[in-house]
Structure 1
């Protein structure tokens, strides 16, 4: 239910921003020196991530920055429930394929890698009754690769989708704001 509510809120936000735009669709994509932020939610192999990040274009085709995400997952075993919470902080780098593949605005396609750290905490929500449970996850180094794309519907706003593979595999959906 939470996922549906968040999706509806995001859709209303994007629709509102689109309807208020007096600019032609896709009039700008990030170029060298621009800064942009991504934020949203997703579906992953370890819970529902909520994420935010910022990147700076160091070249027309290369961006670097950082990202933060939070996800939570409940797991049941033998009548007991464990609640896993994971916080990820990572540095990111992306190559933007628009010039190489001759893709014009309003579309932006990229792929890259992320390196960071995942901090995982696990809480037992009921009595353990002496059961030996091996599903507890620990904190670890994070490495992943990602690919995604954005559609800019005015000079500042875009919708974004990204597929990531690494310690955690998942799909992120959200919005991008270009400063």
Structure 2
């Protein structure tokens, strides 16, 4: 068993050397965008903070509205970034994670747990495009927007 662990650790380390961490510790990404869902059009803004090897914490604020439904949501996010594991170039960023948030509006409030998967492509060292799919809560649906490295 120890032999297999050593082999897996060496493979993981060798992959990590070939790709740059997309969100290094201390980095900040500002995300803004618009989405599509069964409950109208969400407009969102948020930040991601690099906290360690391929990990980020962040938050999102969303305003969702359609002809009969309107609410606000605030969520905390946790993501794992797959670039080093999958040997993806540093101008791309693929991630997946969980979020927990609160939604309120139209006379109700709710606390939800959800998941997201997404990716970014950076045109240059500071600006990129973002696409994210989510499920399970107020932040569900498809989002597209811009990311700015701060």
TM-score range, shorter chain: 0.7 to 0.9
Are residue 141 (structure 1) and residue 134 (structure 2) matched? Answer: no
Secondary structure of the 2:69 match is strand
Q: What's 1:67 paired with? A: 60
TM-score scaled by length of structure 2: 0.81
1:1-179 residue pairs with structure 2 within 5 A? 29-74=22-67, 83-121=68-106, 138-168=108-138, 169-179=140-150
CA drift at 1:120: 2.0
Residues 133-171 of structure 1 deviation map (CA, whole Å, 9 limit, x = unaligned)? xxxxx3211221000000011111000000000124310
User: Runs ≥4 in structure 1, deviation > 6 angstroms?
Assistant: none
Unaligned runs of 5+ in 1: 1-26, 75-82, 123-137
Note the C-alpha offset of 1:29: 3.6
SS of residue matched to 1:139? strand
Q: Which runs of 5+ in 2 are unaligned?
A: 1-19
What value does the CA root-mean-square deviation take over the aligned residues?
A: 1.6
Residue 105 of structure 1 and its aligned partner are, at CA, apart by: 1.7
Aligned residues: 130
For 2:30 and 2:53, locate their aligned partners in 1 and report how far apart those are by CA, in whole Å.
16
Question: Could you report, residue by residue, the CA deviation over 1:37-85 in whole angstroms, capped at 9, with x for unpaired residues?
Answer: 11010101211000000111001300001110001122xxxxxxxx321
CA distance in structure 2 between the partners assigned to 1:163 and 1:38 by the alignment: 14
